[in-house]
């Protein structure tokens, strides 16, 4: 079965495909289909709303069942920021490094025990017949004082989960504990009800 994955983030696509493949789902992209998905304005107040906006847009253009993820980092000491603005935290199109610099700057006076945070991933799946479902996965951790590791993307180098940052973990280690891994496990449980 073909599902279009509504993302332009190649690293996110690889992560989603790696976990969807065992479900018998062929994850295709706009490039595979020779179409162009528009940039979707993420106007939702929640990860769930933004995931739906992206999935619905991809469905409307491709006609295929569509899967979209909206995810981000929520830091308790920053009242949940950057949250749904994680990708735009340091401005539109700012690279990961600039977002990390801003995050660490905003946490510079926050002691270790108050640097708690979680990654959140909401995955929305929409079908041509109007059915849809959304799942949410989280991963608890803390924000380290400096980036470590070179795997992953986004805030992975400063998100400590246990003794390692996400960027220090292998793909398999990260998939086993990550917010996206957790939401995809829930997705895998929910999807058969719709097939």
Average pLDDT, stretch 16-39? 86
Q: Is residue 51 predicted with pLDDT exceeding 80?
A: yes
pLDDT tens digits along 117-172? 999 999 999 999 999 999 999 999 999 999 999 998 899 999 999 999 999 999 88
Say which residue, 96 or 23, is predicted with more confidence.
96
Q: Which residues are catalytic?
A: 70
What is the value of pTM for the model shown? 0.89
| pLDDT at residue 72, as a whole number | 96
Q: How many CA atoms lie less than 13 Å away from 19 in the CB half-sphere?
A: 27
Average pLDDT, stretch 167-182? 91
Q: How confident is the model at residue 3 (pLDDT cuts 50, 70, 90)?
A: very high
Give the containing element (helix H, strand E) for 179. Answer: helix 179-190
CATH number corresponding to 2-194: 3.90.950.10
Q: Is residue 195 predicted with pLDDT exceeding 90?
A: no
Say which residue, 17 or 35, is predicted with more confidence.
35
pLDDT tens digits along 56-99? 999 999 999 999 999 999 999 999 999 999 999 999 889 999 99
User: Is the separation of the CB atoms in 144 and 158 below 8 Å?
Assistant: yes
Torsions phi, psi for 17 (to 5 deg): -60, -40
């Amino acid at each position: 079965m073909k599902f279009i994955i509504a993302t332009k983030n190649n690293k996110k696509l690889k992560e989603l495909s790696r976990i969807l493949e065992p479900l018998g789902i062929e994850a295709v992209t706009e490039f595979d289909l020779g179409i162009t998905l528009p940039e979707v304005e993420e106007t939702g107040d929640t990860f769930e709303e933004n995931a739906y906006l992206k999935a619905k847009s991809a469905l409307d253009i491709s006609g295929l069942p569509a899967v979209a993820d909206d995810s981000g980092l929520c830091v308790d000491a920053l009242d949940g920021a950057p949250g749904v603005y994680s990708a735009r935290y340091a401005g539109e199109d700012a690279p990961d490094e600039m977002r990390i610099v801003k995050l660490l700057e905003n946490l510079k006076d926050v002691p270790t025990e108050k640097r708690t945070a979680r990654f959140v991933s909401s995955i929305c799946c929409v079908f041509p017949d109007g059915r849809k479902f959304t799942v949410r996965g989280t991963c608890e951790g803390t924000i380290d004082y400096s980036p470590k590791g070179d795997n992953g993307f986004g805030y992975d180098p400063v998100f400590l989960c246990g003794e390692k940052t996400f960027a220090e973990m292998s793909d398999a280690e990260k998939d086993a504990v990550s917010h996206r891994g957790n939401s995809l496990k829930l997705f895998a449980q929910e999807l058969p009800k719709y097939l």
